[in-house]
């Protein structure tokens, strides 16, 4: 008798599930296996990260794939990484990291936007909620990515909570997906609901991460990102993948689907 829980069976189940969720905006924008012309026309995608290098390492492969599929992508950096270079004052570090983020965005084909908060001293209050709401409203996204809120880094948490609060207050609920960074060390208890095959854009993602020279790109990958891409790929049954958790009304305890 065959084992219903064999590796092949599990992989095919996840693969079929990901391909079959055609009602989900992310999967409707991307074919599960190939980069295709967007079936619903050009859409606006926004990704919000705490620092330069977070969006690239968390979902750079997916962002590149969306650009290849014909969509417009904007990356919003909550901070400019002011505290991210040992021995350098904030203004000098910010200038270096801003240029690195611009270079990385070019690699992905995305537009960079800098929200203006300070690395290591991010703020979650009504004033900043209003500012981020305005930035996101200006971009008018059809779909948004941001950090998973259960994260060891305070700046990641603040970025995520600002986006969640914006989502809650939005009269039109844009589809919201959380990405993972350095799972187990930063993103905690992360269990994907959706996967994107990044086999064809894995190298482009790596090139974007390596634009962040000041942040030790080999160290970023050593933190677990290479293993994450491989493991999520194994779950989907492909070479490399990125995993996401989809925000839904059920997560809020209400009926917002």
Task: Encode pLDDT of 120-143 as tens digits.
Answer: 999 999 999 999 999 999 999 999
- 58-67, 110-119, 204-213, 240-249 — which is least confidently predicted? 240-249
Confidence of residue 244 (pLDDT cuts 50, 70, 90): very high
Specify the higher pLDDT residue, 48 or 38: 48
The per-residue pLDDT for 24 is 39
Q: In Å, what is the CA distance from 29 to each residue of 69, 75, 97?
A: 8, 18, 31
146 forms beta bridges with 48, 178
pLDDT of residue 18 exceeding 50: no
Q: Give pLDDT tens digits for 41-95.
A: 889 999 999 999 999 999 999 999 999 999 999 999 999 999 999 999 999 999 9
- What length does the chain have? 257
Residue 253 has pLDDT above 90, yes or no: no
Residue 141, pLDDT score:
95
Cα–chain-centroid distance for residue 219? 19
pLDDT > 70 fraction of the chain, expressed in percent and rounded: 82
Buried residues in 165-174 as b, exposed as e (16+ CB within 10 A): bbbeeeeeeb
- Give the C-alpha separation, 26 to 33, whole Å: 13
**Whole-angstrom distance, CA of residue 23 vs CA of residue 101:** 33
Report the pLDDT value the prediction gives residue 20, as an integer from 0 to 100: 34
Helix (H/G/I), strand (E/B), else coil: 143: strand
pLDDT of residue 25: 57
DSSP H or E segment with residue 176 = strand 176-179
Q: What is the pLDDT of residue 249?
A: 59
pLDDT score of 11 more than 80: no
User: What band does 36 get if pLDDT is binned at 50, 70 and 90?
Assistant: very low
**Full-model pTM:** 0.85
Mean pLDDT of the chain: 86
Write down the architecture of domain 7-247 according to CATH: 3-Layer(aba) Sandwich (3.40)
Higher pLDDT, 224 or 249: 224
Assigned token pair, 48: 């919000």
Is the confidence at residue 119, as pLDDT, over 60?
yes
Q: How many other CB atoms are found less than 10 A from the CB of residue 227?
A: 13
* Section 154-172 average pLDDT: 95
Query: Is pLDDT of 4 > 50?
Result: no
Average pLDDT over residues 1-8: 45
pLDDT at 120: 96
Q: What is the pLDDT of residue 40?
A: 56
Burial of residue 39 (number of CB atoms within 10 Å: 0-12, 13-18, 19+):
exposed
């Amino acid at each position: 008798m065959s084992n219903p829980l064999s590796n092949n069976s599990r992989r095919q189940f996840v693969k079929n599930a990901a391909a079959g969720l055609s009602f989900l905006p992310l999967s409707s924008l991307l074919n599960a296996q190939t980069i295709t012309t967007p079936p619903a026309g050009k859409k606006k995608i926004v990704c919000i990260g705490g620092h330069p290098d977070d969006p690239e390492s968390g979902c750079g492969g997916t962002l590149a794939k969306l650009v290849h599929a014909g969509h417009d992508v904007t990356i919003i950096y909550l901070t400019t990484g002011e505290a991210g270079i040992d021995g350098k004052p904030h203004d000098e570090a910010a200038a270096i990291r801003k240029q690195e983020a611009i270079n990385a965005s070019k690699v992905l084909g995305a537009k960079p936007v800098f929200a203006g908060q300070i690395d290591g001293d991010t703020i979650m209050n009504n004033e900043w909620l209003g500012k981020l709401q305005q930035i996101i409203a200006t971009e008018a996204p059809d779909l948004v990515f941001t950090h998973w809120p259960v994260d060891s880094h305070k700046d990641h948490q603040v970025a995520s909570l600002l986006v969640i609060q914006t989502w809650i207050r939005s009269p039109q609920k844009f589809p919201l997906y959380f990405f993972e960074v350095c799972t187990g060390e930063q993103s905690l208890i992360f269990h994907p609901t959706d996967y994107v095959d990044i086999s064809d854009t894995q190298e482009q993602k790596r090139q974007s991460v390596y634009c962040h020279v000041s942040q030790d790109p080999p160290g970023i990958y050593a933190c677990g990102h290479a293993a994450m891409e491989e493991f999520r790929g194994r779950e989907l049954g492909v070479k490399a993948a990125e995993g996401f958790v989809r925000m839904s009304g059920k997560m809020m305890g209400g009926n917002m689907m």
